[in-house]
Amino acid sequence: MSRQSLLLILAQCAIVIGFSHTASLRQEAVQDFRISEQGAATLEANPVNLTLYFESLCGACQEFIVHQVVPTWSKLEASGILQVHLIPFGNAKETKVGEKYTFECQHGPDECQGNIVETCTIHYFPKEKDHIVFIGCFEQKYDESHDWQATLETCAKAANFSQAKVAEISQCVSGDLGNTLEHAMAARTGPHQWVPWILLDGVLNMDAETRLLELVCDAYKGAKPTVCSK
């Protein structure tokens, strides 16, 4: 075989190999796309939105958050079918004084401080997985002492917050930022008659106070996660 013929054969082989490799990459891309589509199918419907108007020293709010919201969210977190929107203001009243706001809370000044702790925590930890565990702990512990700083420290450990973040939250609570953020929570608090005021997809549903998991599962329009059948 001449050297020219050998070079021609090698060139043809390179073309075939290159074409095969390109085809393989295209096939892998198609396969990956299908996998992505299948993954998205688990959220073929919109997640259920839970919006809660509450206040830090309301006994019924504490009961609902500790025994319904946190356990239900924990069970459904992996499925992504539930989104939780916590709004710590409740029945408080606000008055603008100069450039700031003063707050008057149903259960006294300690409740206002607790509301602001939770509001600042949501600000620094906007993802549900970061602030729900903390707020569940805070609602359980704060009523025991009414000491927001001590309860912040305790629950920050439970939620694995760094000391740097604890310091930021403390500064937020005591400073202008907390005042501004709590005003924003007041603005987000819609008309309501009592707390906890529980909205599922924007509709009042007080049955959720004792049956949250069941009602979220019923409300979700897509394929149900296995926890919904237990």
Between CA 8 and CA 49 the distance in angstroms is 66
- Which helix (H) or strand (E) element contains residue 43? none
Residue position matching structure tokens 């025994």: 67
Q: Are 184 and 220 members of one domain?
A: yes
Residue 86 Cα to chain centre, angstroms: 9
Between CA 195 and CA 89 the distance in angstroms is 10
Q: Are 172 and 85 members of one domain?
A: yes
Q: Are 81 and 166 members of one domain?
A: yes
pLDDT confidence of residue 230: 82
Q: Are 128 and 160 members of one domain?
A: yes
Q: Are 119 and 174 members of one domain?
A: yes
Question: Which whole-number Å values give the CA distances from 86 to 31, 127, 180, in the listed order?
Answer: 40, 11, 17
Mean pLDDT, rounded, for 56-73: 99
| Mean pLDDT lowest among 37-41, 51-55, 83-87, 147-151 | 37-41
Number of residues in the chain:
230
**Cβ count within 10 A of residue 28:** 10
Q: Are 174 and 100 members of one domain?
A: yes
Q: What is the pLDDT of residues 11-42, one digit of tens each?
A: 444 433 443 443 443 343 333 323 233 333 35
Q: Are 218 and 183 members of one domain?
A: yes
Q: Which domain holds residue 8?
A: 3-43
Q: Pick the closest to residue 68 from 157, 156, 135, 148 (CA basis).
A: 135
Q: How many domains does the chain have?
A: 2
Dmax (CA) for the chain in angstroms is 99
pLDDT confidence of residue 146: 97
Q: Are 115 and 209 members of one domain?
A: yes
Across the chain, the runs of DSSP E, i.e. the strands, are 48-54, 82-88, 93-97, 100-104, 197-200, 203-204
Q: Are 71 and 31 members of one domain?
A: no
Q: Are 173 and 141 members of one domain?
A: yes
Q: How confident is the model at residue 220 (pLDDT cuts 50, 70, 90)?
A: very high
Residue position matching structure tokens 């008309």: 191
Q: Are 188 and 83 members of one domain?
A: yes
Question: CB–CB of 226/213 below 8 Å?
Answer: no
Q: Are 59 and 170 members of one domain?
A: yes
Query: pTM above the 0.85 mark?
Result: no
Q: What is the pLDDT of residues 102-131, one digit of tens each?
A: 999 999 999 999 999 999 999 999 999 999
Radius of gyration of the chain (CA): 26
Residue 104 Cα to chain centre, angstroms: 27
